[in-house]
Amino acid sequence: MVVEQINPDSYKRIVFFTGAGMSAESGVPTYRGKGGILDKYNWQEVASQEAWEKHPKKVLKFHEKRRTEGLKCKPHSGHKVIADLEKFHPNVWIVTQNIDGMHQQAGSKKVVELHGSVWRVRCPKEGRVWEDSKKTKYSRQKCKCGSWLRPDIVWFSDYLDTKVTDKADEVISRADLFISIGTSGLVWPAAGYPARAKSAGAFLVEINPEPSEQSNYYDKVYPGKAGEVMPQLFGVK
Ligand code: OAD
């Protein structure tokens, strides 16, 4: 596969739109496909409001396991390319569906987390959110009001936070370069973002070993892995 190098200076506003495949080479499982989480777990049983109300301890145990596994994972060269680019380019944003905090671990600061983060907790009663120490167990945490704290993430059937989607809309509607990495493009509203970037006039690049639902929107499609294509795309040795 020949990867045409991108000169970031030719673009004013760059958006990286990432999904689970971005973290796959770091060791974080994807949702769908081979080894995907959805093959092993019934999502409604461990990550939905209904499950939380029925058996909160089971839900917390599932997310605790994911955090523990996540602690063993480290960002790869693809995450680092984006984080380094943000240091010298004034307008680089990440809009991610990932909840693993891997972009921030690599050093990225301008990250819009559409589906929240396992590294934050939320009081379901008061709605307050705060950063959580990586070692603390969810199941041992209660808010001052007495409620068990839940991970600050979007579960099946949850609405997305409109402040977060407004920010994503704002950065995408101004993008002139939109690079999608590792998403199947099946989950809304994120699935509509490539079309939005296209209508805003951005140049669209997709990196994914498999075709996605939106592959036809992209100006360039690289059927490869994030950690391999990203350094080539930005000429990093
Ligand atoms: P998926 O698991 O649906 O898709 C992962 C994508 O990554 C697939 O298209 C793979 O082909 C691709 N992929 C795998 N390895 C890769 C690699 N090394 N480099 C690049 N791409 C690779 O994950 P998402 O599209 O992120 O939502 O899923 C979207 C949402 O579905 C998640 O955020 C989650 C889930 O329901 C919530 O939890 C609300």
Q: What is the DSSP letter of 35?
A: T
Kindly report each contact of residues 42-47 with a partner whose C-beta sits within 8 Å and lies 24 or more positions away, as own/partner.
Answer: 43/156, 44/156, 47/153, 47/155, 47/156
Query: SS3 for 144?
Result: coil
Q: Is 115 a catalytic residue?
A: yes
- Taking the centre of ligand 1 as the mean of its atom positions, its distance from the CA of residue 126, in whole angstroms, is 31
Q: Is 229 in the pocket of ligand 1 (CB under 6 A)?
A: no
Mutate to test the pocket of ligand 1, among 183, 210, 232 (most ligand atoms within 8 A of CB): 183
Q: How far apart are CA 145 and CA 182, in angstroms?
A: 40
- pLDDT score for 156: 86
Beta carbons within 8 Å of 8's beta carbon, 6+ residues apart: 14, 85, 89, 92, 177, 234
Q: What is the C-alpha radius of gyration for the chain, rounded to an integer number of angstroms?
A: 18
Percent of the residues in the chain that have a pLDDT greater than 90, as a whole number = 81
Q: What is the pLDDT of residues 82-125, one digit of tens each?
A: 999 999 999 999 999 999 999 999 999 999 999 999 999 999 89
- Compute φ and ψ for 16, nearest 5 degrees: -100, 125
- Compute φ and ψ for 61, nearest 5 degrees: -60, -40
Least Cα distance to 191 among 220, 237, 160, 222 occurs for 160
pTM to 2 decimals? 0.96
- Report which protein residue has its CA nearest ligand 1's atom 21: 182
Can the peptide bond before residue 194 be classed as cis, meaning omega within 30 degrees of 0? Answer: no
User: CA neighbours within 13 Å on the CB side: how many for 216?
Assistant: 1
Q: What is the pLDDT of residues 181-217, one digit of tens each?
A: 999 999 999 999 999 999 999 999 999 999 999 999 9
Least Cα distance to 180 among 166, 196, 167 occurs for 196
Q: Which atom of ligand 1 is nearest to the CA of 98?
A: 33
